[in-house]
């Protein structure tokens, strides 16, 4: 396969030299341990690019053009909606890049909901359209490429189901082995089936997600596997590219708000990092307000903001039918707080009924997603009501997972258009239909 001509000059050598820096004490790390924690204070690390400078108009325009031209290429690193933006990613040899054409997800208008909320511009960025059906693929592509470059044969994660599906698929594609820890009985059938199908070793544990992650941390100190949870800062580098792709799709006109669901809080952190880097480089003038929506039964960030203005994490015992975000002790809380503060966004929580209603409303527009993703629309309704979001503003909801990830949720909520069983006879069917439509 052949890259575009601009790509030939934009080989891996133009990717960015980076270092890992602690998000609390800012100390730069030399060698990093398997848990990706600061050697000074134990906090999470982030990738930073010391050589970046603000681009002048001409260089900025050139970079945007290169990204656009790569869409015509057939080279895997150009087709990827992550690696296409590789000037803003850690330097990686092309031979180590593991890609399955992640990213490249649609941006769709949400017309009925916009009318209902009297919003002039409401869009969804559907990250559920990634190869394994969730946004995780963008981050896993970058982090597993780093694992490959470092020569690890085994990768691992703890998960509420989507990370594990993505890790299993990308590991299989890269001819690596994968090990996943899942909370027993708390993963949807679809997500569990994905991990099994892609050949992961699946360990179900009698604990919740937070317990699985803690246990995995202990295990990998004695077992040689590369950690792909979002404490791995390379994950966020992949996930931040959604900001770049979104800006291209919006012709570089910055929306007023971007709203994401929050669980372990890496996605909101990554999205914020992406937008703030675009500001730093001079490619946009300001970031959108980034707001995070959690289920009321799993709302540690909301409580942390309300109760102590983001200074100290308020852990909760998580409970919600939106199993993807059933997390009470989020690893990336400090990064997410910084994103809310640096972009002027907010944290809000929504009830189980509000999530179910929002999910049904999205479905009624032909836009399926999993319950966690629908929390964004439910949250938006509250933010419009409180006038945090003004009706003249442009809003983008990030839908994080595909609707088929959780078919049981929808079947339990089946509406009155689910008819039968009816006798397999045309007369009987017509009589039934006449009764139904007589009511409308
Ligand atoms: N939406 C979906 C569909 C998810 O699967 C997740 C997280 C989130 C939102 C929240 O993102 O954790 O970055 O705040 N799922 C993880 C997993 C925890 O293991 O699949 P976050």
Report CA(405)–ligand 1 centroid distance (Å).
Answer: 12
Count the alpha carbons within 13 Å of 248 in the hemisphere toward its beta carbon: 24
What gap in Å lies between CA 277 and CA 283, rounded to an integer? 9
Ligand 1, from 44, 159, 160: best to mutate by most atoms within 8 Å of Cβ?
A: 160
Atom of ligand 1 nearest to the CA of 158: 19
Ligand 1, from 126, 263, 320, 333: best to mutate by most atoms within 8 Å of Cβ?
A: 263
As a whole number of Å, the end-to-end CA separation of the chain is: 55
pLDDT score for 322:
97
Report CA(83)–ligand 1 centroid distance (Å).
Answer: 22
Ligand 1, pocket residues at CB < 6 Å: 134, 136, 159-163, 230, 261-267, 324-325, 370, 372-373, 400-401
Atom of ligand 1 nearest to the CA of 165: 20
Closest residue CA from atom 15 of ligand 1: 324
Closest residue CA from atom 19 of ligand 1: 159
Closest residue CA from atom 10 of ligand 1: 263
pLDDT score for 30:
84
Ligand 1, from 239, 325, 358: best to mutate by most atoms within 8 Å of Cβ?
A: 325
pLDDT score for 437:
87
pLDDT score for 10:
38
Count the alpha carbons within 13 Å of 166 in the hemisphere toward its beta carbon: 39
Tokens of 306: 């309300």
Report CA(9)–ligand 1 centroid distance (Å).
Answer: 36
Name the packing angle between helices 333-343 and 300-308 (round to 10°).
60
Note down pLDDT in tens along the chain; length 440 residues.
444 434 333 344 456 789 999 999 999 998 888 899 999 999 999 999 999 999 999 999 999 999 999 999 999 999 999 999 999 999 999 999 999 999 999 999 999 999 999 999 999 999 999 999 999 999 999 999 999 999 999 999 999 999 999 999 999 999 999 999 999 999 999 999 999 999 999 999 999 999 999 999 999 999 989 999 999 999 999 999 999 999 999 999 999 999 999 999 999 999 999 999 999 999 999 999 999 999 999 999 999 999 999 999 999 999 999 999 999 999 999 999 999 999 999 999 999 999 999 999 999 999 999 999 999 999 999 999 999 999 999 999 999 999 999 999 998 877 667 888 999 999 999 999 998 888 66
Closest residue CA from atom 4 of ligand 1: 324
Atom of ligand 1 nearest to the CA of 372: 1
* pTM of the entire predicted model: 0.94
């Amino acid at each position: 396969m052949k890259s575009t001509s601009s790509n030939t000059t934009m080989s891996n050598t133009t990717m960015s030299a980076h270092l890992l820096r602690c998000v609390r004490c800012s100390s730069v790390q030399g060698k990093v341990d398997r848990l990706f924690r600061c050697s000074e204070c134990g906090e999470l690390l982030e990738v930073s690019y010391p050589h970046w400078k603000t681009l002048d108009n001409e260089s900025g325009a050139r970079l945007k053009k290169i990204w656009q031209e790569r869409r015509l290429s057939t080279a895997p690193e150009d087709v990827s909606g992550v690696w296409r933006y590789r000037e803003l990613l850690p330097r990686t040899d092309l031979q180590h890049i593991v890609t399955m054409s992640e990213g490249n997800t649609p941006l769709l208008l949400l017309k009925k909901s916009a009318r209902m909320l009297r919003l002039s511009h409401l869009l969804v960025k559907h990250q559920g359209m990634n190869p394994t059906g969730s946004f995780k693929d963008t981050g896993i592509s970058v982090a597993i490429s780093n694992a490959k470059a470092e020569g690890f044969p085994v990768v691992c994660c703890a998960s509420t189901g989507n990370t594990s599906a993505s890790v299993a698929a990308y590991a299989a594609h890269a001819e690596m082995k994968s090990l996943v820890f899942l909370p027993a009985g708390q993963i949807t059938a679809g997500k569990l089936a994905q991990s099994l199908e892609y050949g992961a070793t699946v360990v179900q544990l009698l604990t919740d997600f937070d317990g699985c992650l803690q246990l995995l941390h202990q295990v990998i100190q004695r077992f040689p596997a590369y950690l792909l949870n979002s404490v791995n800062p390379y994950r966020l580098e992949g996930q931040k590219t959604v900001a770049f792709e979104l800006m291209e799709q919006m012709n570089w006109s910055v929306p007023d708000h971007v709203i994401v669901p929050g669980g372990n809080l890496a996605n909101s952190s990554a999205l914020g990092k992406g937008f703030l880097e675009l500001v730093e480089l001079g490619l946009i003038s300001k970031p959108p307000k980034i707001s995070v929506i959690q289920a009321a039964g799993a709302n540690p960030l909301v409580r942390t903001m309300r109760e102590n203005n983001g200074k100290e994490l308020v852990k909760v015992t998580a409970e919600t039918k939106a199993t993807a975000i059933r997390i009470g002790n989020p690893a990336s809380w400090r990064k997410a707080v910084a994103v809310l503060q640096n972009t002027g966004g907010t944290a809000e929580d929504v009830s189980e009924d509000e999530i179910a209603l929002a999910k049904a409303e999205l479905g009624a527009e032909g836009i399926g997603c999993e319950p966690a993703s629908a929390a964004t629309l439910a949250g938006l309704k509250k933010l419009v009501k409180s006038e945090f979001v003004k009706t003249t503003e442009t809003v983008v909801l990030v839908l994080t997972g595909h609707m088929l990830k959780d078919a049981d949720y929808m079947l339990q909520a089946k509406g009155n258009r689910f008819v039968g069983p009816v006798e397999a006879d045309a007369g009987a069917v017509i009589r039934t239909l006449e009764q139904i439509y007589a009511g409308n």
